[in-house]
Amino acid sequence: MKKTQSDQVTALNLGKQAKLTPQLQAYFDKCREKLGFVPNVLRAYAFDAAKLQAFIDMVDDLMLADSGLSKLEREMIAVAVSSVNHCHYCLTAHGAAVRQRAKDPEMGELIAQNYRAAPLSGKQKAMLDFAVKLTQKPAEIEESDRQALRDAGWKDRDIWDIAAVAGFYNMSNRIAAATDMKPNREYHYMVRSPTAESA
Amino acid sequence: MKKTQSDQVTALNLGKQAKLTPQLQAYFDKCREKLGFVPNVLRAYAFDAAKLQAFIDMVDDLMLADSGLSKLEREMIAVAVSSVNHCHYCLTAHGAAVRQRAKDPEMGELIAQNYRAAPLSGKQKAMLDFAVKLTQKPAEIEESDRQALRDAGWKDRDIWDIAAVAGFYNMSNRIAAATDMKPNREYHYMVRSPTAESA
Amino acid sequence: MKKTQSDQVTALNLGKQAKLTPQLQAYFDKCREKLGFVPNVLRAYAFDAAKLQAFIDMVDDLMLADSGLSKLEREMIAVAVSSVNHCHYCLTAHGAAVRQRAKDPEMGELIAQNYRAAPLSGKQKAMLDFAVKLTQKPAEIEESDRQALRDAGWKDRDIWDIAAVAGFYNMSNRIAAATDMKPNREYHYMVRSPTAESA
Amino acid sequence: MKKTQSDQVTALNLGKQAKLTPQLQAYFDKCREKLGFVPNVLRAYAFDAAKLQAFIDMVDDLMLADSGLSKLEREMIAVAVSSVNHCHYCLTAHGAAVRQRAKDPEMGELIAQNYRAAPLSGKQKAMLDFAVKLTQKPAEIEESDRQALRDAGWKDRDIWDIAAVAGFYNMSNRIAAATDMKPNREYHYMVRSPTAESA
Amino acid sequence: MKKTQSDQVTALNLGKQAKLTPQLQAYFDKCREKLGFVPNVLRAYAFDAAKLQAFIDMVDDLMLADSGLSKLEREMIAVAVSSVNHCHYCLTAHGAAVRQRAKDPEMGELIAQNYRAAPLSGKQKAMLDFAVKLTQKPAEIEESDRQALRDAGWKDRDIWDIAAVAGFYNMSNRIAAATDMKPNREYHYMVRSPTAESA
Amino acid sequence: MKKTQSDQVTALNLGKQAKLTPQLQAYFDKCREKLGFVPNVLRAYAFDAAKLQAFIDMVDDLMLADSGLSKLEREMIAVAVSSVNHCHYCLTAHGAAVRQRAKDPEMGELIAQNYRAAPLSGKQKAMLDFAVKLTQKPAEIEESDRQALRDAGWKDRDIWDIAAVAGFYNMSNRIAAATDMKPNREYHYMVRSPTAESA
């Protein structure tokens, strides 16, 4: 599978990168500094600075702002949803994130394959059950589904966040599928050695 | 079906409305001026100003910014996706938008029921075929699906917008389903009389 | 969406209307008197008087004869089934019927979109849960499904009627889909103003 | 599997048989004379003479009236639809009918199991492809599906009949499933020996 | 449906039969002696003696070795799985086996049509519920599904056998579907008369 | 995710390991020598020597015997099928095998996530399209599906092997799901560094 890192990260010809605002330029610089690269999803959106900024604002709020869900739990939702939707981009990028945040390469694999096989707490299992039902059968969500989350220990405010993260990756998965978006190859190789947690 | 317009627009207890920034306050004021009310989805998000702003930024860019898709076409995608997902909120709010932008109450009904029965151009039919396949079977999108859009007259830049709008309503539908979000009742009664277009 | 009311109400060329019996002629006259038009489904069947009479006999018995279900409840089943099957004809015609019989335009919309979002009694919710499962997964109905109806207050005789009405619209939906049957445009505009019930 | 032929042919307690009209009484007598028994579906409906008459009128028109489809072809549709819906009653009763009308026990089995494995003409294969798609995905029927029938040699009038028969068994299958209707045991043993046709 | 028993039992041209080992030759001879014919699945595999031997070793262990499941129960699983997968070959061959082992032609039909309509013990019903869920939604099996089997009276060792038999026919069904494998016609006519058990 | 390598590799209590035949003992020894461990699927089957031997005979013939499919291609089928079925065990064990045989860690990930995103030859794409349709919709395989394989360059004998491997993993996936089979942890860490092929 020889390949070169080209400028084209999707199957669409979207024209060249827009002139980035200083705020976006600084964001890209920080990505390069912290990750070593700019995630391809941002490069894909970069043909239009307004769309790129709106995407960053939403994803950073969802995944990094204060929440009753840990950052790992939010990444677990991203990966469980992407597993249902078989999204190559998100499974690669967020699979790496679960491996990293869990400090456990096996957990990342498990959620990407089938969260039902993962050793989760009852509270986390309920969270992913809800996220996956919401992904597969949104029309069939009823009050009893919300109540199951409350019974497992989640607050109403957390239920919003579970829904918002699950909803977001149902969007991202589809944009990636529609455009054949390719993840940065570096993700495949991150956090692949046994760690203290997985030992 | 007696009901009163309560402050609670979802089944979740999310606490009281956050203090809105002047920018958001002005946005709400403009809604009241133009629509006569603040759409409930915005009231639902208003427990957190950052989330509300990010939502507004994304939806306004998608639905109102320059695009190869008309505003009506983008509303058609919203409704066709919401029909697959049986989303009460979005079918009500965006169904009204299709009726209004098409100046044709019947067209709004048709897209909400089954777009395949609507008298669409081949280009619009291809657009909705793609949006609906992306909604139902995102894992099965292939290059031939993108090519069908190009063959129907859409440019690559338009394909991005079709995907982004379809993806966005797959998110919104799920947030609405997860929270049992209720639309403003006014939507039901908008643009319900025969118009010049439907005559 | 300019259109003219043509004689062709389906995509099939079925030849001209059969000579109607006096009984059928009287029936059509009564439709014109009460509704202002002959429902297109009857016009579609009118190429054959025997088929038309059999259809009328069955639908009138199901929807109008004595039953433990109210006429509104039977229309609710028609619409909930048609929502699953995305049937343009039946959602339009029977959606109007729910609006009319409920004296509530919003209830008609709700059932057509997703009955799970409607403010139903537990007994009516159980009725539609059964009708929808019977529509989607007939092979999976078991005694526990019948018992759930009994527990909600339905008698065995009512269960027959729920099944018969749900079954009938699974037939009608498919005949309409197979033939691209178009509803009379008048239905779209019936009972669209807020009523005492919906106020 | 010891069992006795009881008066109860469904899981519902529908009360005793209604007083039959002379016309219905004569119909039952003819069944006993020709078949040796009254089909249980008729016994199930017999709690209400009007419903029974409407059912008989419709099914006899569909299955026995003049049509571009042979009676065997109409039975094939009944069985192919019932196979998708896994309807015990209809597979038993109409499976026997296909064995009998085809004079070929194997053909009856094949259609009940999977019509795609049966040695059908292209015209009959197209007929069952349409009936099965209409059963599984009614919302997705488009003009191209109708055209495929025309291309295979069916006239528009025949397409109506294909749709009407497929629709009818989607109704009957659901009434049988909803009520756990049991077929007369005699059907299992009819036309089970190799025939000239199957030799 | 005139047909001759040809040497080609699949739609694939797999070349001529391999030279059978004495062990396989004896096995074929025993089939002819006991059944009157060599089952076509064995003739299909006979292009390669190693594959044929591996298939025979596995199927005979699964269906005939000591087990907490009776031989009839294992055949019931074969047929219930094949019903979901609409496998012509296995429904014909193993449908005959259920008729024979149950000494009840009707039971064979019932399991092939829809096991939910069959008069099964609670233990057997639980067995088939598990086998069918494992067939349709393998990713969704959880500990509660295993526990339901234990609660119905099955031991862990039996659960393995239920899974192994259900798994095996999910394999066989697919090999038969992929190759259009035709069953020996004799199966259709075996155990078709009322028996003491069915009386 | 702390865990210890226990003797229990499934959720079932199957009793202790059977006394292995010298042939099986030698096989286990060879596994330890070549892989460093005995694959857990073999340890799971080891409660019964006959079942273990039959499993080994079949899998080794399928995956290692002469075939028109390369060993990598057979592993690709195993992984693509397991991706549809979300099988934790097989995705882990055979994902490692694809990484190893392709000498390309990314290819292993791609097939496990969604083969449609992988850079495959047309011949390999057709192979996986067939294997995945056979997994998802075995009842719908028709001659045109076989012909598509021939058109892509596969011989009839190869089609058998594609079907047999796809069928086999539909069996294995279900046995693993039914028993909650856990893969050896070592698989997660095999072939995870960039290789010459992936560079």
Contact status of E52 with chain F (Cβ, < 8 Å) = no
Of the partner residues C50, C138, C139, the one whose CB lies closest to the CB of residue D65 = C50
How close is the nearest chain E Cα to the Cα of F194, in Å? 31
B&C contacts, CB < 8 Å: 74
State the smallest CA–CA distance between residue A63 and chain F in angstroms: 22
Q: Which chains touch A (3 or more CB pairs under 8 A)?
A: B, C, E, F
User: What is the DSSP code string of chain A?
Assistant: ------S--SSS---SPPPPPHHHHHHHHHHHHHTSS--HHHHHHTTSHHHHHHHHHHHHHHHHS--SS-HHHHHHHHHHHHHHTT-HHHHHHHHHHHHHHHT-HHHHHHHHHHGGGS---HHHHHHHHHHHHHHH-GGG--HHHHHHHHHTT--HHHHHHHHHHHHHHHHHHHHHHHHT----GGGGGTT-S--TTT-
Does residue E47 register a pLDDT over 80?
Answer: yes
Residue B7: predicted pLDDT: 61
Which residue from C minimizes the CA distance to A144?
C116
Which pLDDT belongs to residue D8? 82
Q: Reduced to 3 states, what is the DSSP secondary structure of residue B63?
A: helix
Name the residue type at position D57.
D
Q: Which residues of F touch A1 (CB under 8 A)?
A: 102, 104, 106-107, 119, 197-198
Q: How far is residue D105's CA from residue E109's CA, in Å, rounded to a whole number?
A: 14
CA distance A117 to chain E (A): 8
User: What is the per-residue pLDDT across F23-55, written as a single tens digit (0 to 9) for each?
Assistant: 999 999 999 999 999 999 999 999 999 999 999
Whether C86 has its CB under 8 Å from any CB of chain B: the answer is yes
Q: Does D70 touch chain F (CB under 8 A)?
A: no
Measure the CA–CA gap between C147 and B180, rounded to whole angstroms: 28
| CA of C90 vs chain B CAs: smallest distance (Å) | 10
The pLDDT of E97-124, averaged and rounded, is: 97
* CA of C10 vs chain B CAs: smallest distance (Å): 11
Chain E environment of F165 (Cβ under 8 Å): none
- Give the model's pLDDT for residue D2: 47
- Token pair listed for D189: 């043993």
Cβ neighbours of F163 in E, within 8 Å:
174-175, 178-179
Per-residue pLDDT of chain D (199 residues; tens, 9 = 90+): 445 445 689 999 999 999 999 999 999 999 999 999 999 999 999 999 999 999 999 999 999 999 999 999 999 999 999 999 999 999 999 999 999 999 999 999 999 999 999 999 999 999 999 999 999 999 999 999 999 999 999 999 999 999 999 999 999 999 999 999 999 999 999 999 998 787 5
d(CA F174, CA E160): 11
Distance from CA of C131 to the nearest CA of A (A): 14
* Cα–Cα distance, D164 to D127 (Å, whole number): 12
Contact A149, A127 (CB under 8 A): yes
Chains E and B touch (3+ CB pairs under 8 A): no
Quote the ipTM score: 0.96
Mean pLDDT by runs of 10 across the 199 residues of chain B is 63 96 98 97 98 98 98 98 98 98 97 98 98 98 98 98 98 98 97 84
Question: Which residues of chain F neighbour A194 with C-beta distances below 8 Å?
Answer: 189
Let me know: does A186 contact A92? Beta carbons within 8 Å. Answer: no
Q: Are C and F neighbours with ≥3 CB pairs closer than 8 A?
A: no
**Mean pLDDT, chain D, integer:** 95
A positions 107-136 inside 8 Å of E (CB): 114, 116
pLDDT at res. E1: 46
What is the per-residue pLDDT for D36? 96
Closest-CA distance, E44 to chain C, in angstroms, reads 33
F193 neighbourhood in chain A, CB within 8 Å: 189, 192
Using CA atoms, how far apart are residues B4 and C104, in angstroms rounded to an integer? 14
Separation CA F32–CA A8 (nearest Å): 45
D5-23 confidence digits (pLDDT tens): 456 899 999 999 999 999 9
Mean pLDDT of chain A: 95
Q: How many residues does chain A have?
A: 199
pLDDT for D31 = 98
The model's confidence at residue A6, banded by pLDDT at 50, 70 and 90, is low
**A143 interface with B at CB cutoff 8 Å:** yes
| Cα–Cα distance, E150 to E157 (Å, whole number) | 10
Of F196 and E54, more confident: E54
Percent residues over pLDDT 90 in chain A: 93
The chains found to touch C (3+ Cβ pairs under 8 angstroms) are: A, B, D, E
- Give the minimum alpha-carbon distance from F5 to chain A in angstroms, rounded to a whole number: 10
Residues B63, A50: contact at Cβ < 8 Å?
no
Residue B159 to residue F97: CA distance in whole angstroms: 37
Instruction: List the single residue in A58, A61, A141 with the smallest CB-CB distance to B178.
Output: A141
3-state helix, strand, coil in chain D (%, to 5): 65, 0, 35
Question: Do B158 and A139 form a contact (C-beta atoms < 8 A)?
Answer: no
pLDDT in tens, F80-126: 999 999 999 999 999 999 999 999 999 999 999 999 999 999 999 99
How close C113 comes to chain A (CA, Å)?
10
- A141 token code pair: 């969500």
Which of E88, E106, E198 is facing D110, going by the closest CB pair? E88
| Sign of the alpha-carbon torsion through E176, E181, E184, E188 | positive
Q: Nearest residue on chain A to B160, judged by CA atoms?
A: A179
CA–CA distance, E135 with F170 (Å, rounded to integer):
9
Judged by CB atoms closer than 8 Å, whether chains meet at D114 and F142 is answered as: no
Radius of gyration from C-alpha coordinates of chain D: 17
To the question of pTM greater than 0.95 for the whole model, the response is yes
Which chains sit next to D, with 3 or more Cβ pairs under 8 A?
B, C, E, F
CB-defined contacts B:F, below 8 A = 5
D/A Cβ contact: 3+ pairs below 8 Å: no
Euclidean distance between CA atoms A134 and A152, whole angstroms: 17
Q: What's the pLDDT tens digit per position in A139-190? A: 999 999 999 999 999 999 999 999 999 999 999 999 999 999 999 999 999 9
Mean pLDDT of chain E: 95
**For position C58, what pLDDT does the model report?**
98
Find chain D residues with C-beta within 8 A of B116's C-beta.
139-142
Interchain CB contact of A138 with F (< 8 Å): no
Report which residue type is found at B51.
Answer: K
Q: Is the pLDDT of residue A1 over 70?
A: no
Q: List CB contacts of A29: < 8 A, sequence separation 6 or more.
A: none
Average pLDDT over all residues of chain F = 95
Question: For residue B193, which residues of chain C lie inside 8 Å, CB to CB?
Answer: 189, 192
* Chain A, nearest residue to E141 by Cα: A116
Q: For every one of its 199 residues, what pLDDT tens digit does chain C have, with 9 covering 90 and above?
A: 445 445 689 999 999 999 999 999 999 999 999 999 999 999 999 999 999 999 999 999 999 999 999 999 999 999 999 999 999 999 999 999 999 999 999 999 999 999 999 999 999 999 999 999 999 999 999 999 999 999 999 999 999 999 999 999 999 999 999 999 999 999 999 999 998 787 6
Hey, is B26 helix, strand or coil? helix
